């Protein structure tokens, strides 16, 4: 992980982790006592104003405050992983198990079981993704929530179908 010196007055040697390098030369900036970096290095210290809807969702997801060390990059990573799991589930359920494996003469009837397992994991990951975006107060958290809820809705329908196929 890249680190850059912080702009703490009187302590130009302190290092703070950032997702990417700051474009400001902090060594030169430290020579000027009154100069401060114009880029925020610690978003957790910035005051956050939340709407009533944000507060409701934070209570629903049991998010109290922004944990130390949680970054926007981690929220993106969680979103990518949950979408990858959902896509993998669809690929297995609709391509591999019903078409490819029966052509090879193996794994007949395992599609619903795998669909139930992977679909359940994908839905849990989607909820954790929504949690992560709200945790970091991401500016697009509502858009990501809409996408994740759409995926959860689709996965719920597919889960009910898989359960019906498994039971019959």
Burial 104-141 (b: 16+ CB within 10 A, else e): eeeeeeebbebbbebbebbbebbebbbbbbbbbbbeeb
Q: What is the DSSP letter of 39?
A: S
**Tokens of residue 138, six digits:** 């991401």
Handedness of CA 59, 60, 66, 67 (dihedral sign): positive
Encode the chain (168 residues) as per-residue pLDDT tens digits.
444 444 444 444 444 444 445 666 667 666 666 666 665 555 545 567 788 999 999 999 988 776 667 777 877 787 788 788 878 877 877 777 767 766 666 666 667 787 788 888 888 888 988 988 888 888 889 998 999 899 899 889 989 988 998 888
**What is the three-class DSSP state of 16?**
strand
Q: What is the gyration radius of the CA atoms in the chain, in angstroms? A: 23
CA distance 58 to 33: 40
Domain ranges of the chain: 1-41, 52-167
């Amino acid at each position: 992980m890249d680190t850059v010196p912080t702009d703490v007055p009187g302590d130009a040697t302190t290092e703070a982790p950032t997702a990417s390098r700051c474009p400001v030369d902090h060594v030169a900036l430290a020579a000027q006592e009154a100069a401060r970096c114009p880029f925020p290095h610690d978003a957790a210290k910035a005051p956050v104003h939340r709407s009533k809807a944000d507060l409701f969702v934070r209570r629903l997801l049991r998010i109290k405050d922004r944990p130390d060390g949680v970054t926007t990059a981690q929220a993106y990573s969680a979103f990518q992983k949950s979408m990858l799991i959902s896509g993998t589930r669809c690929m297995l359920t609709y391509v591999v198990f019903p078409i490819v494996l029966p052509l090879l003469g193996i794994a007949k009837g395992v599609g619903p079981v795998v669909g139930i397992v992977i679909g359940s994991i994908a839905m849990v990951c989607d909820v954790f993704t929504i949690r992560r975006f709200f945790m970091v107060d991401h500016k697009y958290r509502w858009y990501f929530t809409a996408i994740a809820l759409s995926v959860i809705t689709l996965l719920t329908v597919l889960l009910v179908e898989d359960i019906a196929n498994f039971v019959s």
